Chains A and B, each alone.
Chain A
Amino acid sequence: MTILPPDHDRDDQPNNDQAGEQAPSRIINPRREFLRSAALFTGTVASLGGGLELLTRRPGAAAEPTPGEFGDLAQGNLAQGQVRRPLGPYDTSEAMTPYAQATSYNNFYEFGTDKADPARLAGSLKVRPWTVKIDGEVRKPQTVDIDTLQSWFPLEDRIYRMRCVEGWSMVMPWLGFPLAALIRRMEPTGKAKYVQFTALNDPKQFPGQRSRVLDWPYVEGLRLDEALHPLAFMAVGLQGRVLPGQNGAPLRLAVPWKYGFKSIKSIVRITLTEKQPRTTWSIAAPDEYGFFANVNPAVPHPRWSQATERRIGELSRRKTLPFNGYAEQVAGMYKGMDLKKFY
């Protein structure tokens, strides 16, 4: 505001190159003119600044929802940052991503493309009642209530790294059961070669599905040997609590050696198939996202390098590891495959 008076003074002085002319506007009350300029200045600052903010500012979600505790249901004890000792054979000892960040920075396009959208809009998702249809190449096809399905298996903790294809990562303390246990219970036929997962398709609950950014419903898939691998996990909870909507309630996949988009959320159907499923992102951009999507620092995304990643909560980047650090366990499944071709 201090800029104004000198400017105004200048207005009152005759300009050299225009000294010959007398302006009629000089009659105007200088005090009034100053107030007018001050008002216009403030209005312009507010409208330009405000307009730019409106156009470009996308604040992160601050909400930390407090879903119910699993209580007796949970066999694990990963409540609120408490790390179980000793760690299980599949757990990472790395620091867990704080609950508030793990539940406010999510890619879940069913709610919207912004990472704050899922936490903001997750309230519209109704996770009970919820059924999961299991069909295809199984001897025991059935539609089962989520609570029944959950009761079939003892729940266990898994502290997994999660690497997003966008170049960031988290450490997620999941609560759930191995996918293999579920598949074996359904008794796959000899024809079963792949497992296809389908997420809920309901624009009333998923506002993001009202726009056609992706081909809904979201579909993902695994090769049967991948699905039967002990690391492949079905999560129903996070850090000792019921899985929040934005993280894929009530049932989601966690395949930690693959990019995050493979770990499909809010699953309503699991189908064992003979043919490789057509998965959502590989349909949307086949040159960018493959069926396998194994974390691989040597194969860049066409638009960015995959060599490094930012662990959420850290400022500098760290090196991305082959198979997200799970190479010892999973690399054998891909022996002889050209991972540059089957990305």
Chain B
Amino acid sequence: MSKPLSQAAAAQAASTPTRRTVSSSRISRPLGWLVPAVTVGGLLPIAVLILDASTGALGANPVQRAELQTGLLALALLILSLACTPLRLVTARLGLAGGRGWTWPARIRKSLGLLAFGYAFLHFLIYLFDQGFTLSTVAEDVVKRPFVTAGFTALLLMVPLALTSTPRSVKRLGFARWTRLHQLVYVAAALGALHYWWGVKKDHTPPLVAALVIALLFVIRLLGRKKARRSVVSG
């Protein structure tokens, strides 16, 4: 992360004079602790999970608990990564950070996204373990049960995103194509929430909250983009 060329930073570079971008990145440079902190904090639940498993705190059905928690962690981190750009847009609207909005969320977006993918993959591995790595059962689940299909598709969609999360990939794909590819994250998140909805037996409140938050973030994003287009036209 020596030079985070994220969408937000690039968009900012396009819309503001170069000099201001340089000085703004200099002001936020002392945030060097931020990405390591997010990585360590995001991995902390794994340590607690291992500790819980070794002390029996996962209860009578530890595999099911671990499966559930890693799934929840994946969805929570995916939503946090989706919140980064809306957070910048909203803070800009509120006139914070000299009207440009907070730039630090853009710095941790990649880490949050990769953490989400990591937990989703771990969730899938625990599911495979639960099925005794019987691939025929897994294949049947994926094809026949919408609940599993949704979760599996979400995981598959996150693979290309994780693979192209480096600044080099942005350069190689070109910013526009990279952005379009990474819009898949909304599909993955929506499928994740659907998977969660179908996964609970009765109390649908938590998955509903997750779905509403994703929808809200998406709307903020759309409004932000519309406004940016308008300002391009009028400016």
Contacts and interface: CB of A to CB of B under 8 A. Distances in A.
B147 A316 contact: no
Interface in B137-192: 137, 140-141, 144-148
A45 B42 CA distance: 8
Interface string A312-330: 1101110000000000000
Of B30, B34, B68, B131, which is in contact with the most chain A CB atoms at under 10 Å from its CB? B30
B91 interface: no
B59 A213 contact: no
B147 A303 contact: yes
Contacts of B130: 310, 317
A153 to B, nearest CB: 31
Contacts of A44: 33-34, 37-38, 41
Contacts of A105: 59-61
Given A10-B32, A41-B37, A317-B130, A56 B72 contact: yes
A25 interface: yes
A3 B23 CA distance: 25
A52 B44 contact: yes
A105 B77 CA distance: 28
A38 B29 CA distance: 15
A37 B35 CA distance: 12
Interface residues of B, number: 52
Given A57-B69, A58-B65, A52 B45 contact: yes
B199 interface: yes
B65 A37 contact: no
A126 to B, nearest CB: 26
A113 B201 contact: yes
A49 B64 CA distance: 21
Nearest to A55: B76
A49 B33 contact: no
B14 interface: no
Given A7-B33, A44-B34, A304-B141, A317 B132 contact: yes
A310 to B, nearest CB: 7
A307 B40 CA distance: 40
Contacts of B34: 40, 44
Interface string A33-58: 10001101110111111101101111
A216 to B, nearest CB: 13
B22 A21 contact: yes
Contacts of B77: 52
B13 interface: no
Interface SS, B side: helix
A62 interface: yes
B202 A113 contact: yes
B35 to A, nearest CB: 9
A49 B30 contact: no
Contacts of B76: 52, 55-56
Contact of A59 (B57, B63, B201): B57
Nearest to A317: B132
A315 B63 contact: yes
A113 B203 contact: yes
A93 to B, nearest CB: 22
A284 interface: yes
A104 interface: yes
Of B61, B69, B144, which is in contact with the most chain A CB atoms at under 10 Å from its CB? B61
A38 B199 CA distance: 40
Nearest to B74: A56
B201 A166 contact: yes
Nearest to A49: B44
Contact of B69 (A25, A48, A56): A56
Contacts of B233: none
A168 interface: yes
Given A25-B26, A116-B59, 19 more contacts: A7-B36, A18-B22, A38-B33, A44-B34, A46-B41, A49-B45, A52-B44, A52-B45, A56-B69, A57-B48, A60-B56, A60-B62, A60-B65, A113-B201, A113-B203, A300-B144, A303-B147, A307-B137, A310-B64
17 contacts: A10-B32, A11-B30, A18-B22, A40-B33, A40-B34, A40-B37, A44-B38, A48-B37, A48-B38, A52-B73, A52-B77, A57-B48, A60-B61, A115-B61, A284-B202, A303-B145, A305-B145
8 closest A-B pairs by beta carbon, nearest first, are A60-B59, A49-B44, A48-B41, A105-B60, A7-B32, A44-B37, A56-B72, A101-B60
